[in-house]
């Protein structure tokens, strides 16, 4: 098993960051504008759509202002059964977001791509919170010839 | 051992990308303006400096247009002995850069930070090649309260 790991510091208390990870409005503001479902209830399901495809997540853990954990229940084969984990730590006027996309079976090329793309979306999350404007799909920064 | 993995597609033949990974001028254009040494010879050493600190790399492999591999011989403890590996594949008008920073002993928080920061610098490399203008330190995108 291999994991994608990231970290970003956001100049904000933790509550707005947590809201951007659990509300449809927040998620739509940094990841994809086509977000539906319920990210704010244990066992809730969220549908994220990006042009041709997307991801379905099940909410496994919620600790307000501190932790969010999803299981991928729909999407590309490589994603199914992996977990997306968000830890928030408030410190010195910043919220440090520790991000993990855990449990990839193999370090395939698609995982390399997703790692870079997650970083781009974390910068979008940071921008959403700090400036009010994120860069969700389809307004995201494209990193190669197909996405 | 854990690895940082990334991928980015650059609209360019491989040769300019390879040059940006092996020449002081190229490296200065996307990673840090304070780059010295010799990145274009096997066994050559390159010094990268970022404000308070930096990294020293030894060139372990060079395959023009295809592969570059460095060993970290100076820098933060967590980096010493790790390897930075670049694979280039030309395809459909793009050069796909497969990046690995391999051999971290532990998935420490600093590794999460470096993973995100590498993605930001890969976007800088892409921008340098595609537009002629990168975002090297100290003009890079800061991702938290210290870097």
SS (H, E, C) chain A: CEEEEEEEEECCCHHHHHHHHHCHHHHHHHCECEEEECCCCCCCEEEEEECCEEEEEEEEEEECCCEEEEEEEECCCCCCCCEEEEEEEEECCEEEEEEEEEEECCCCHHHHHHHHHHHHHHHHHHHHHHHCCCCCECCCCCCCCCC
Alpha carbon B62 to its chain centroid, in Å, reads 14
Q: How many residues appear in chain B?
A: 147
Chain B residues close to A126, C-beta within 8 Å = 143
∠ at Cα A65 (A61, A66), nearest 5°?
55
Alpha-carbon dihedral B108, A113, A8, B22, rounded to 10 degrees: 80
Number of CB atoms found within 10 A of residue B134's CB: 24
Residue of B86, B96, B111, B144 to mutate, testing the A interface (most A Cβ within 10 Å of its Cβ): B144
Rounded CA gap, B121 and A121, in Å? 15
Query: Using 50, 70 and 90 to split pLDDT, how confident is the model at B52?
Result: confident
Residue B136's Cβ-side half-sphere holds a number of Cα atoms within 13 Å equal to 22
Superfamily for domain range B2-131: START domain (3.30.530.20)
Query: Using 50, 70 and 90 to split pLDDT, how confident is the model at A39?
Result: very high
> Encoding tokens for residue A95?
């919220």
Query: Using 50, 70 and 90 to split pLDDT, how confident is the model at B51?
Result: confident
Q: What is the pLDDT of residue A26?
A: 98
Using the beta-carbon criterion (under 8 Å), do A109 and B98 form an inter-chain contact? Answer: yes
> Is pLDDT of A89 > 90?
yes
The domain segmentation of chain A, as residue ranges, is 2-131
Distances (CA, A) of A114 to A143, A144, B69: 10, 11, 22
**Predicted TM-score of the model (pTM):** 0.97
Number of CB atoms found within 10 A of residue B118's CB: 22
Q: What is the pLDDT of residue A145?
A: 78
Chain B residues close to A116, C-beta within 8 Å = 6-8, 119, 122
Using the beta-carbon criterion (under 8 Å), do B107 and A3 form an inter-chain contact? Answer: yes
> Is pLDDT of B46 > 80?
yes
Question: Which residue in chain B is spatially nearest to A121 when comparing CA positions?
Answer: B116
The alpha-carbon radius of gyration of chain B (Å, integer) is: 14
**B52-77 mean pLDDT:** 97
> Is pLDDT of A85 > 80?
yes
> Is pLDDT of A91 > 80?
yes
């Amino acid at each position: 098993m291999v994991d994608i790991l990231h970290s970003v510091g956001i100049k904000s208390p933790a509550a707005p960051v947590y809201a951007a990870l659990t509300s449809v409005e927040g998620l739509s503001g940094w990841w994809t504008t086509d977000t539906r479902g319920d990210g704010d209830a244990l066992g809730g399901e969220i549908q994220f759509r990006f042009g041709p495809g997307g991801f379905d997540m099940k909410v496994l853990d919620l600790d307000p202002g501190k932790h969010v954990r999803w299981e991928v229940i729909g999407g590309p084969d490589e994603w199914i059964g992996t977990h997306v984990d968000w830890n928030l730590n408030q410190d010195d006027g910043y919220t440090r977001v520790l991000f993990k996309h855990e449990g990839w079976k193999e370090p395939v090329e698609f995982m390399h791509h997703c790692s870079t793309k997650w970083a781009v979306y974390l910068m979008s999350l940071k921008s959403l919170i700090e400036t009010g404007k994120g860069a969700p799909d389809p307004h995201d920064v494209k990193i190669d010839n197909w996405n």
